């Protein structure tokens, strides 16, 4: 179930953001550009955010399953709980970013979005969606990396070291450049979990 949830999260979040994110202004865009963005893409932002909210709910299931896996590898439960806590941080900040972004789109759709309010909503959503969510992603990845380095059976050592560096990068402003790679990482890891589960059931049969 963990693998299935992870694949669903990656696919839904990517699909939801694909509806509008390619037209998203840069962080330093003017208030006029941001207002125009919300006005022109309001319907797609609302639809995409709605899909991303479902992905957020499924991410809780993924994080819970990951906690169970790490508990089996590590034993004392500290890193499993840390990963789960990181997952909850991702969901909390992600839901906040999506709903604030949706609020901007809803106001624009009804013609009630002023330039300064639009800019404020956009910038708050931007920081939550990248920097704040990056902290949660970083905590989750670091917990997995440390568990892999300590246990030795979860991942190859070289991959655990790579994850360690990625996790640290997510705690910095570099997180804004790592969203797409992190979705790919989630998709690959979840596919591996699904493959392992399928192989286990086949051997049991």
The DSSP-derived string for 2-40 is HHHHHHHHHHHHHHHHHTTGGGPPPTT--HHHHHHHHHH
Domain ranges within the chain, ordered by starting residue: 2-195
DSSP three-state, residue 110 = coil
Strands (E), the chain: none
- Is the pLDDT at 55 greater than 70? The verdict is yes
Q: Record the pTM.
A: 0.88
Confidence of residue 194 (pLDDT cuts 50, 70, 90): low
Return the pLDDT at 50: 95
- Identify the CA nearest to 2 among candidates 80, 97, 96, 93: 80
pLDDT tens digits along 109-139: 999 999 999 999 999 999 999 999 999 999 9
Q: For residues 6-21, b (16+ Cβ closer than 10 Å) or e, as one string? A: bbbbbbbbbebbebbb
């Amino acid at each position: 179930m963990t693998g299935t949830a992870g694949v669903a999260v990656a696919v839904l979040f990517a699909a939801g953001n694909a509806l509008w994110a390619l037209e998203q202004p840069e962080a330093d865009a003017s208030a006029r550009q941001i207002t125009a963005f919300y006005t022109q893409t309001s319907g797609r932002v609302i639809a995409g955010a709605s899909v991303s909210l479902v992905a957020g709910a499924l991410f809780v299931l993924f994080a819970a399953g990951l906690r169970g896996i790490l508990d089996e590898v590590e034993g004392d439960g500290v890193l499993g709980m840390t990963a789960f806590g990181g997952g909850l941080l991702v969901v909390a900040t992600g839901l906040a970013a999506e709903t604030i972004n949706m609020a901007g789109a809803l106001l624009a759709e009804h013609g009630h979005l002023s330039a300064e309010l639009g800019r404020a909503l956009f910038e708050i959503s931007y920081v939550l969606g990248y920097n704040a969510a990056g902290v949660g992603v970083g905590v989750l990845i670091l917990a997995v990396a440390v568990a892999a380095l300590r246990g030795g059976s979860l991942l190859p050592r070289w991959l655990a070291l790579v994850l360690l560096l990625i996790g640290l990068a997510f705690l910095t402003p570099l997180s804004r450049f790592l969203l797409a790679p992190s979705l790919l990482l989630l998709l690959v890891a979840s596919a591996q979990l699904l493959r392992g589960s399928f192989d286990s059931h086949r051997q049991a049969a």
